Amino acid sequence: MYYKQLGCSGLKVSELGFGPWLTISKHLSIRKSTDIIHYAFDQGVNFFDNAERYAEGMAESVLGHVFKTLPREDLVVTTKIFWGGDGVNRTGLSRKHLIEGTKNSLHRLQLEYVDVLFCHRPDPSTPIEEIVVTMDMLIKQGYAFYWGTSEWPVELIIDACEMAKRLGCIGPIIEQAEYNIFVRERVEQEYATLYERYRMGVTVFSPLASGLLTGKYRQGMADEFRLTHQKRLWTNDFEQRLSVANTFADLAKSVGVKPAQLALAWCLQKPYVSSVIMGASSHDQLNENLKAVELKERVDASVFAQIDALYPSSELEKIN
């Protein structure tokens, strides 16, 4: 495993992180979850991502049991606050919900602090000053070491950075965004200013495009339920994406690797990516994903260039 600086901080995180969004929840026992997390940790994974929303808090509770069996100093634990429940003040980034949501998450995680606390989505109803001051307070009171944003537009992140400077507060160090060959413009284009001016980094999720880049969606290989789900996600261009995914699978085969490994390696070789969040429900699946760390060093740059050309965004097309 290799480790990178998390944004502009001194914190080091494994290039592949582990997230429980679709893998660890009420559907997996604590025993099974413990086994998977311990195995990932033994393979060098130290970055474990979470959110108050995942499985209505169950994901945090399950990982909380696991974390009690591991050395805290060797873990980088994150969680995200925004969706805390159905109550009118249990959603968003108000000072009230940021503080109460963080305390609730820490209770479920059985931790005194998290390493990074994310604002899970932008909240137009809460002034940016309130968010920045509250995140600064949470860090200074020991609930977190750093804070970041997730899926925020670049203008709002810049506002937060500049507001923190003016007020003498601790600003965000990292953004967490979706990133794969189908979703690229925000990470590659929009956030360029953040990398250059503020030395921020990005952790990315959904590197396999909800499974589309695993090769399982080739004709006859995917069950009807999952295909229907994907068609709902990408109503406008599902067939195009499926065609690209098939071409991507052929490219992976020509290189002698599995599509999922190549998709992860493509994300990992981007210099602005601090860590790629993956999921796994078995040792075999985890082992296959972990091979992407070495793969990114072995794959010729021309292969990654071919991947870049498979599905360029409109802005990328203009540039090229």
pLDDT digits (tens, 9 = 90+) for 60-92: 999 999 999 999 999 999 999 999 999 999 999
* pLDDT at residue 134 tops 70: yes
Distance CA 296, CA 262 (A): 8
- With H, G, I as helix, E, B as strand and everything else as coil, classify residue 264: helix
Distance CA 316, CA 320 (A): 6
Catalytic positions, written as ranges: 54
Name the helix (H) or strand (E) containing 17.
strand 16-18
User: Residue for token digits 């793969």?
Assistant: 295
We report the CATH number of the domain holding residue 48 as: 3.20.20.100
Domain membership of residue 289 (yes or no) is no
Domain count, the chain: 1
The residue among 81 and 235 whose pLDDT is bigger is: 81
For residue 196, how far is the Cα from the chain centroid? 21
Tokens read off for 293 = 């760390």
Domain membership of residue 263 (yes or no) is no
Task: Please give the pLDDT value at position 230.
Answer: 58
Distance CA 13, CA 102 (A): 22
The residue range of the domain holding 147 is 12-172
pLDDT in tens, 242-258: 899 999 999 999 999 99
- Is this structure's pTM higher than 0.85? yes
Domain membership of residue 146 (yes or no) is yes
CB 48 within 8 A of CB 78: yes
Domain membership of residue 278 (yes or no) is no
Distance CA 120, CA 53 (A): 9
pLDDT in tens, 266-302: 999 999 999 999 988 889 999 999 999 999 999 999 9
On the 0-12 / 13-18 / 19+ scale of CB atoms within 10 A, 24 is buried
Domain membership of residue 140 (yes or no) is yes
